[in-house]
Amino acid sequence: MTKRVYLAGPEVFLANAREIGARKRAICARHGLVGVFPTDEEEACDLALPPAEQGLAISRAMERVMRGCDAMIVNLTPFRGPSADVGSAYEMGFMRALGRPIFAYTNDARAFPDRVAAVCGGALCVRPTGEHEDPDGMVIEPFELHDNLMLAGGVLASGGCIITETTPHAERYTSLIAFERCVKSAAAELLR
C-alpha cells in the first residue's frame, strides 16, 4: 500500500522551494514513499482576497493536505531563532492529534540549550537553584533534547525518530543528507 508522507519544514520559504520539494519527493520515491511537499497540493489563492484571507486559505489547504497523509517528515533545523519553524511545529501537533507517526531531522546537531545560549550571545545567568536562564529571566530547558521537549516528545511518542546531522550553516536548509536518513527510517517503519 502506498504511504503518503507530508514533508514539513522551512524550505517552503526558499527561493528554490519547488526544486527542493522535487528533490525531496525523488528521495521519498526511491525509498517507496510518496512525499507531499506543502506547495504540491496548494490551491491557487484568490489574489482578490485581502492578504490575511489568502494566508488563512493556505492554512486550511495545508490542514486538508495533512489529513490525506499517513505520516510526516519534518525539518526541525532552527529557523529564525533557536527552535524549529513555528508553522512546522503547529503541523507536528496537528499530525500528532490525528495519530500519525512523525519522523524528524535537523541539520543542526547542537542540543536545544546550546542553541538558546548561542542566540542569547552566551549572556545566561544561573539561578540559585542551578537552572540557567536567558536575559529575559526565563529558564532554559535543561533536557539536552534537540528542540523543545514537546516537539521531541511528540515525535518519539508517535513512533518516529529524530535524525541529526552537522551541516555547514550555508547548507542548513538545502542539505538533504539527514532528510534521506530520516526517509530511510520512516520507510522501514511505515512499509513493514
For residues 91 and 6, is the Cβ–Cβ distance under 8 A? yes
Instruction: For residue 148, give the nearest of 92, 65, 73 by alpha carbon.
Output: 92
At 45, is the pLDDT very low, low, confident or very high (cuts 50, 70, 90)? Answer: confident
Helix (H, G, I), strand (E, B) or coil at 43: coil
At 108, is the pLDDT very low, low, confident or very high (cuts 50, 70, 90)? Answer: very high
For residues 90 and 168, is the Cβ–Cβ distance under 8 A? no
Q: What are the helix (H) ranges across 31-176?
A: 51-67, 86-97, 112-119, 149-157
Q: Is pTM beyond 0.75 here?
A: yes
Q: Which pLDDT score is estimated for 43?
A: 66
At 122, is the pLDDT very low, low, confident or very high (cuts 50, 70, 90)? Answer: confident
Percent of the chain residues past pLDDT 70, beyond the cut: 98
Q: Is 26 left (phi over 0), alpha (psi -120 to 50) or beta?
A: alpha
Round the average pLDDT of the chain to a whole number and report it.
94
Single-letter residue type at 68: G
At 18, is the pLDDT very low, low, confident or very high (cuts 50, 70, 90)? Answer: very high
At 40, is the pLDDT very low, low, confident or very high (cuts 50, 70, 90)? Answer: confident
